[in-house]
Structure 1
Amino acid sequence: MESLKMIQQTIVYLEDNLLMDIQLDTLARHIGETPFHLNQTFTMITGMNIEEYLTRRRLSEAAADLIAGKVSLLEIAAKYGYADAAAFNDAFRDYHGLSPLQARTHRQQLKQLNRLYVKLAVTEEPPLSYMIESKVQSRLIGHRTQIASKALYNHFLIADLLLDHYEEGKLAELAEQGDGPLYLVVHPHPYGLELFVGVASDEKTLLETEHLHHTKFAVFKKRGHLDYIFNEIWQSIEQQISVMLDYRKNDYYIAQLNLPLDFNSFDNKISFYLPIE
């Protein structure tokens, strides 16, 4: 229920400030949550991130203004935060598939996203299965990356980071220095996210280090494409698992993957460790 309450509070804030410049950091502080979890929960429950919701709502309202015909195109562009008519035209066409000038004559083809409201629902689809496991404390060596809040709107953030590490030779370097699987450690914080990619090792190193200190986790095992597998796991956690399992929110989360990674395959195996109370 906590997630649904947070979604409702977020929607109220977004609708009350629909014509304002809304920053994820500011919104998260208002709700009392980290930017990562606020956007993650919103995305997994509604099917769109906060930025996408704002864009679709604004362009839906802009379409209504165009049909009404009471104000000029320039005034509508300015009202919804676009620098000029050209920028508004591009955004409008991207969303509706029509130019603003076609809105009145093709109104049946326009998309319309009205304000969302929260409701309870049930499904016949079971949640991901998980096991409760204890994990010994361990030391990782690897690379730490700070992610700004704005970048959290990228649905492929983690896959993109892993691909960058692969292309820069960092994954090969880690495979040579460590023994066993690749670890991805996710640390949410008030200004974004910290991601650590590494391998277990007790050897001396010039690389950065990370120490895993929790012992009790709910462990999810899944196979899939790196572009989608993280969101698929989080979707099940946010929509179903969180109702029946108390986990340590805004603590760190661990993804364990086997090397080498295959960025074109749906056969990558992942173990996802969710810290529990």
Structure 2
Amino acid sequence: MNWISGLQKAIDYIESHLTEELEAADIAAQANYSPYHFQRVFGILCGYSLGEYIRMRRLTLAGSELASTDRKVIDAALKYGYDSPESFGRAFSRFHGITPVQAKSGRAKLKSFSRLSVKLILDGGSTMKYRIEKMGELEVIVKKKNFSCDLETSNRQLPEFWGECWTDKTMLELFERNPKEGIFGDALLGLCLSEIPQANEFVYAIGMMYDGGPVAEELSVEKIPAHTWAVFECVGPIPEAFQKMQHTVYSEFFPSSEYQPSSGLDIQVYPTGDMQSDKYVCQLWIPIEKNL
């Protein structure tokens, strides 16, 4: 299954189950991706989370039914996954700007959020610097933490984690043992290491290449399996330039290349320097495999 058809199959699955309970793992399985990897790529490509898409599609359909049929508000609430008319009413009003009762009058204006359709659009020829690297097993020393696979939640929690690592002196400890040589050079690493599917969580870590020395209690040594990697170069201030580059990787590079990501793992390489500079250079390493 290729990149485009896998994503479309997942969206089709969502659309055919909007009145049922939807689990991220079941949706991701339609595209042959892990829950974390699918939700992350979905958010990068669409600009909103998987949960937001499902919520907006359900509220669109609920509004249409209330305005055009004799369906009761409580029945619409239960049909589209809400526990009570009150919680449904609050969500409905935030989305449509009117109450469900007003929608039933038939004269109010409703919002509509259309279903997604995945297409590969050839538009211009953007240039992207990348290389393919075959690497054996790597060892990194890190501080790690579990985060929700929900994009909205993790986007809030990850910057807080970086801040915590500066505040609690983790960064100073890492810099003191920075090897400054090797494949990543003098750089901090942000790593998406693994997933915990049963908890809908993933493990994220901040660290550096392991220098072989003793390991403090709050840190751990993690092994990164051997992979073939696509290495993308990003130039510009962080996080804006990095986010733009990520979107280009998933919306342009993978759909039009012979490769696809082989797992949810990735490594963000942040060399020492002024991250707000227009000339700041960082990298994104993504494990890849040939399209089937």
TM over 0.5: yes
**Residue segments in structure 2 that go unaligned for 5+ positions in a row:** 180-185
Q: Relative to structure 2, which stretch is displaced further, 59-68 or 230-239? A: 230-239
Alpha carbons 2:93, 2:99 under 8 Å: kept:
yes
* Rounded Cα–Cα distance in structure 2 between residues aligned with 1:153 and 1:229: 22
Which residue of structure 1 aligns with residue 191 of structure 2? 185
Relative distance call for 1:216 and 1:144 in structure 2 (3 A) is same
Alpha carbons 1:3, 1:238 under 8 Å: kept:
no
1:54-88 CA-to-partner distances (Å, cap 9, x unmatched) read: 10100101111221251222222222122222211
Relative distance call for 1:24 and 1:231 in structure 2 (3 A) is farther
Shift of 1:106: 5.9
Amino acid at match of 1:182: L
What is the percent sequence identity of the aligned residues? 21
Relative distance call for 1:236 and 1:73 in structure 2 (3 A) is same
- The DSSP-based 3-state class of the residue aligned with 2:87 is helix
- The DSSP-based 3-state class of the residue aligned with 1:107 is coil
Shift of 1:101: 3.5
Among 221, 232, 235, the residue aligned to 1:220? 232
Alpha carbons 1:127, 1:240 under 8 Å: kept:
no
Relative distance call for 1:125 and 1:3 in structure 2 (3 A) is same
Shift of 1:135: 5.9
* Rounded Cα–Cα distance in structure 2 between residues aligned with 1:197 and 1:185: 6
* Rounded Cα–Cα distance in structure 1 between residues aligned with 2:70 and 2:115: 23
Amino acid at match of 1:193: F
* Rounded Cα–Cα distance in structure 2 between residues aligned with 1:153 and 1:126: 32
Which residue of structure 1 aligns with residue 183 of structure 2? none
* Rounded Cα–Cα distance in structure 1 between residues aligned with 2:51 and 2:176: 40
Q: Relative to structure 2, which stretch is displaced further, 154-163 or 241-250? A: 154-163
- The DSSP-based 3-state class of the residue aligned with 2:65 is helix
Relative distance call for 1:86 and 1:251 in structure 2 (3 A) is closer
- Give 1:175-214 correspondences, 5 Å limit: 175-179=175-179, 180-189=186-195, 191=197, 192-200=201-209, 201-206=211-216, 207-212=219-224, 214=226
Relative distance call for 1:138 and 1:42 in structure 2 (3 A) is closer
Shift of 1:138: 4.6
Among 231, 248, 251, the residue aligned to 1:239? 251
RMSD: 3.1
Q: Does 1:250 align with 2:263?
A: yes
Alpha carbons 2:190, 2:206 under 8 Å: kept:
yes
Q: How many residues align?
A: 273
Which residue of structure 2 aligns with residue 141 of structure 1? 141
* Rounded Cα–Cα distance in structure 1 between residues aligned with 2:99 and 2:277: 38
TM-score by length of 1: 0.82
Shift of 1:255: 0.8
* Rounded Cα–Cα distance in structure 2 between residues aligned with 1:70 and 1:244: 50
Q: Does 1:43 align with 2:55?
A: no
* Rounded Cα–Cα distance in structure 2 between residues aligned with 1:135 and 1:95: 48
TM-score by length of 2: 0.78
* Rounded Cα–Cα distance in structure 2 between residues aligned with 1:170 and 1:94: 41
1:88-119 CA-to-partner distances (Å, cap 9, x unmatched) read: 122122222333344346633x2201322233
